[in-house]
Amino acid sequence: MHIDAVDYPHVDHVSAIDRLPFLQDNSVELIYACHVLEHFKRVAVLDVLREWIRVLAPGGLLRLSVPSFESICKIYSCTGEFCDIIGPLFGRQDYLYNLHYNVFDRKSLAACLLDAGFSDVSD
């Protein structure tokens, strides 16, 4: 099932992904969340991750991708061009939901995942 806040043709269910009341506890084998966690305010990140844990089946998998702060810093260090990193840092801001409230490095993301209750965190 593809869930998105915007009603695109490929979307099965239009909804925010921080509350999933239409999904039962332990009912999902895989959550693929690509470049969405950074769209939540820092104070909400743990609640979002805990909601995903709630719906994940035992042994289920969260595949998570976020903009890499380490990579953003390397790009800026090499190019010195702010325009090269503003999108990954703040979102394109070209529609309502395309705004970043958060940025993560490996250590901070792993800490959030562990704090939320995930037990096996790896790259």
* Per-residue pLDDT tens over the stretch 22-40: 999 999 999 999 999 999 9
- Whether 7 is covered by a domain: the verdict is yes
- Whether 43 is covered by a domain: the verdict is yes
Whole-prediction pTM: 0.92
- Whether 83 is covered by a domain: the verdict is no
CA nearest to 29, candidates 1, 50, 65: 1
Domain, as residue range, for 56: 3-67+102-116
- Whether 75 is covered by a domain: the verdict is no
- Whether 16 is covered by a domain: the verdict is yes
How far, in Å, CA of 78 to CA of 107, rounded? 23
- Whether 46 is covered by a domain: the verdict is yes
- Whether 122 is covered by a domain: the verdict is no
Indicate the number of domains in the chain. Answer: 1
Model confidence pLDDT, tens digit, residues 59-116: 999 999 999 999 999 999 999 999 999 999 999 999 888 999 999 999 999 999 999 9
- Whether 121 is covered by a domain: the verdict is no
How far, in Å, CA of 33 to CA of 31, rounded? 6
How far, in Å, CA of 87 to CA of 95, rounded? 13
